[in-house]
Amino acid sequence: MLPGDFPTNLIFGVVLAATLAFFGWTLWRLIRVLRLGKPENRFDRPGRRVANVFAYFFGQASVLKEPAGLGHFCIFWGFIVISLGTLETFIRGFASDWTYARLVGGAGYAAFGGLLDLFSAAVIVAIVVGLFRRFAVRPFRLRTDDPGAPRDAALILTWILVLVAFMWLARGVEAHLGHAGDALRWSPVSRLFAGLFAGAPAGALRVQLAVYWWVHTLLILGFLAYIPYSKHLHILMALPNFVFKRLPSTPRARLSIIDFTDETATKFGKDELTDLTWKQILDHYACTECGRCQNECPASRTDKPLSPYMLVHHVKEHAIRKGYALLAGKGELPEDAPEIARKPLIGGVVGTDEIWSCTTCGACEQACPVFIEHIQEIVDLRRSLVMMQSSFPSEVQAAFKNLETNSNPWQIPWSDRGQWAAGLDAPTYKEKPGAEWCFYVGCLGAFDDRARKVSAAFVSLLNKAGVDFAILAEEEKCCGDPARRIGNEYLGQMQVQANVEVFAKYGVKKILTTCPHCFNTLAHEYPDFGGAYEVWHHATFLRELLRQGRLTPRTPVAGRLVYHDSCYLGRHNGIYDAPRELLRAVPGVSLTEAGRHGAKGFCCGAGGGRMWMEETLGTRINEDRAAELIGAGAPTVAVACPFCMTMIQDGMKAHDREDVTTLDLAEILDRSC
Q: Side chain identity at 64, as an amino acid letter?
A: L
Lowest mean pLDDT among 289-293, 418-422, 502-506, 653-657: 289-293
Report pLDDT for 147: 72
The pTM of this model reads 0.92
CA dist 241 and 37 (Å) reads 15
- Residue 127's pLDDT band, with cuts at 50, 70 and 90, is confident
Report pLDDT for 570: 97
- Residue 334's pLDDT band, with cuts at 50, 70 and 90, is very high
- Residue 178's pLDDT band, with cuts at 50, 70 and 90, is low
Statement: residue 281 has pLDDT above 90: yes
The per-residue DSSP string of 570-639 comes to: TTTT---HHHHHHHHTSTTEEEE--SS-GGG----S-TTTGGGS---SSS-HHHHHHHHHHHTT-SEEEE
Report pLDDT for 196: 87
Report pLDDT for 1: 61
Helix residue ranges per DSSP H, 384-530: 394-406, 442-447, 449-464, 481-486, 489-506, 516-520
Give tens-digit pLDDT for 284-322: 999 998 899 999 999 999 999 999 999 999 999 999 999
- Helix 8-34 × helix 202-226 angle, to 10°: 10
Give tens-digit pLDDT for 448-491: 999 999 999 999 999 999 999 999 999 999 999 999 999 999 99
Helix (H) or strand (E) holding 437: strand 437-439
Report pLDDT for 516: 98
The residue length of the chain stands at 673
Statement: residue 181 has pLDDT above 70: no
CA dist 23 and 174 (Å) reads 30
Statement: residue 666 has pLDDT above 70: yes
In order of their start, the domains of the chain are: 8-35+66-232 (1.20.950.20), 273-388 (1.10.1060), 407-547 (3.40.50.1860), 559-672 (3.40.50)
Q: What is the mean pLDDT of the chain?
A: 92
Statement: residue 659 has pLDDT above 90: yes
Average pLDDT over residues 185-209: 86
Statement: residue 2 has pLDDT above 80: no
Report pLDDT for 460: 98
Give tens-digit pLDDT for 41-94: 999 999 999 999 999 999 999 988 888 788 888 888 888 888 888 877 887 777
Higher local confidence (pLDDT), 592 or 78: 592
Give tens-digit pLDDT for 18-44: 999 999 999 999 999 999 999 999 999
Report pLDDT for 457: 98
Report CA-CA distances (Å) from 619 to 206, 303, 385, 596: 65, 6, 25, 18
Report pLDDT for 97: 61
Give tens-digit pLDDT for 345-390: 999 999 999 999 999 999 999 999 999 999 999 999 999 999 999 9
CA dist 78 and 234 (Å) reads 16
Statement: residue 558 has pLDDT above 80: no
